[in-house]
Structure 1
């Protein structure tokens, strides 16, 4: 099954291309609401972005935005809302950022606190630590800064990406970090654009100096791949996702290993992953701190395991598009599944789910995950099926195609 391009990689590539000297061509970027919003944000800041279906071309400006004043609406996109203010700070001008009500609720404070510590003049216009935000930019000198990235690795990524645009570079000391594999994506991509970051323990040293434009191919989204992979494990069928494998930049490819622990057959090659269901799913306890975007996927198939499924160390899922731990628990209870939760864990007990309407809470991952549950549960519908446009506009058709190929009957929405 073909999976769309990675949201995380597309967003980082757009930042890097905008910050690089020269012209960058991105191949197979993700086409979704989030990445469209990021590209529109760059355009509002004066960057030249030309978009064709399979290639996006970006003219970089190491000196920062090409306009002295701009207003950017970040939609629901966390990468847009967190990365673009950092990019704008490297330029000169007054730049105002706002976002959807959903994104306004999500935290920004650790990042903006670090930017302030670096001398950036910025104001939270409503609630401190949240959008809307105004940046009065005059470049960034650089230097030392301490950051708590325990709520989101995106705070650290924003500073890492900013580092080469500062006059002195950055020395970032991290006191806590969640979703560490996403930081590895950032470091690898910075390397592809000509910047090498030195890391010693929790300290990252980013040298000054511009990025160099390049051609860059975006690999498929590993978080999105979790849905067809889980579907195969759940239904006893087989699916292969090309373009993802042992050489992938994305940590979420490790979700396949979780399915393997549950009893599925998993083949992880250099550039493809195949999961084949065996007709059995085992219960397990799993720490998903580093692959937390796939928590709803596992929660959605957990009722079919032969024992409890306990997911631990995932507090940060409570501050995503919605409180995902609570959303998973709520929907599992709607389906008649016994479930309990704590601050950073959820435990799901075996049960045959019954049909019910899923409350998506505007969250694409809740909608896609519980659509997989519907492969073995007649009568599941979604209250907001369209929210999948955030990362996978064609998701429902793709799942219907899998359902038809596997002979699983009519879809439910």
Structure 2
């Protein structure tokens, strides 16, 4: 059974770093993701005064429930949205002055709903240039707690940041959510908080987070399900190719594993065992209409294989992908049109018609790792595709091109 070794989850690694930093004691993170995003997060913790020991297959973090050791720090969040949203929230629970900035790409991405919520909780926080965007400075004096209303319709990371903050407040936190996208990511957060000793009570979209802090633990990071989607899609578009990803199965935390159910609906054979998932290409790929609101990071993967389907592929309720590393809806549409494929888009949807992509085009990556990795799947059946920035995969998977080149052949 041809197995592909997928690096650790970016989402789990970022949350585990926050939780370990906030916990009482020393935590060990097993098989964390080594990438630009996660290294940037760990570096940010170090700048804030946390001790992070890194080896090839485990990271150790000395937790500080009282907040950052540094009284002042300047943190560069690189391109990482989790770094840019979680670290200012963590710093707010401490005492000191902390400035955060990010790459031009991350500066464009929104923070407003999160920073408004933090201000509502009494955090002294100032955006230096555009309101609701980096750079920002936090004058931290701890967080009392209380009740706050949050719109997480743009990013579930806003809710995750506040949930993670809750146990570090003096009296606990009640979060009333008015809108929520990518809900499975919140389930990841709640499960990981449980592993670090905190149980969140939930009633619909109201979350009650107790005060009292976290306890240190050893936490194993499962493979990244979003990254696995490219390998599963590679099997689906190639008759006879079978790909198994160990470590991602029915017990996985990540909602993006549900992408394989989309492939199953299109005609691929899918087997989800407890500790692994296998996809086989059958030679059939049907069109479909699918709502991807909860698994929107895999939207580009589906868009990239859609031309090979026998009927149109319509992806709905993915408006939030317009505020990711780039406007992913338009980036996918732009590149498919460059390949001669007929595409239409709306505010939160994309429809792709069948058609053999033209060989030899250059894919415009818009500096977005997911655009490169998605169109690498298209390239399996379209000769001569190149990328204007192939190296941007370092954000989540520096060895992606080598791993994809080593894909097992069709059986």
Give the Cα–Cα distance (whole angstroms) in 2 for the partners of residues 243 and 354 of structure 1.
Answer: 36
**Is the CA contact (8 Å cut-off) linking 2:190 and 2:200 kept in structure 1?**
yes
Is 1:267 paired with 2:286?
no
Matches within 5 A, 1:28-177: 28-177=31-180
Alpha-carbon deviations, 1:27-70, whole Å to 9, x = none? 00000000000000000000000000100000000000001000
Aligned equivalents of 1:270, 1:112: Cα separation in 2: 39
Cα pair 1:25 1:215 within 8 Å, conserved:
yes
Mapped pair 1:240 → 2:249: no
Shift of 1:280: 1.1
Aligned pairs, number: 406
- Residue 393 of structure 1 pairs with residue 398 of structure 2: yes
Divergent runs of 4+, >3 A = none
TM-superposed deviation, 1:210: 1.2
The answer to whether the aligner puts 1:374 opposite 2:408 as a matched pair is: no
Helix, strand or coil at the partner of 1:50: strand
CA RMSD across the alignment: 0.7
CA contact (8 A) 2:286 2:310 kept: yes
SS in structure 1 of the partner of residue 237 of structure 2: helix
Cα distance per residue 1:245-265 (max 9 Å; x no partner): 111000000000000000000
Determine whether 1:211 maps to 2:214: yes
User: In the alignment, which residue of structure 2 is the partner of 1:285?
Assistant: 289
Q: Distance in 1 between matches of 2:154 and 2:213?
A: 29
Aligned equivalents of 1:354, 1:238: Cα separation in 2 = 26
| 1:346-365 Cα deviation digits (max 9, x unpaired) | 00000000120000000000
Partners of 1:354 and 1:379 within 8 A in 2: no
Render the CA deviation track for 1:88-127: whole Å, top value 9, x for unaligned.
0000000000000000000000000000000000000000
Partner of 1:411: none
| 2:282 aligned with 1:257 | no
Q: Which 5+ residue runs of structure 2 have no aligned equivalent?
A: none
Unaligned segments of structure 1, at least 5 residues? 409-413
Q: CA deviation at 1:407?
A: 6.7
Separation in 2, partners of 1:170, 1:314: 30
TM-score, normalization: structure 1?
0.98
Shift of 1:294: 0.1
Q: Are the counterparts in 1 of residues 242 and 410 from structure 2 also a CA contact under 8 Å? A: no
Distance 2:254 2:373 in 1: 19
The whole-number CA distance in structure 1 between the counterparts of 2:249 and 2:306 is: 24
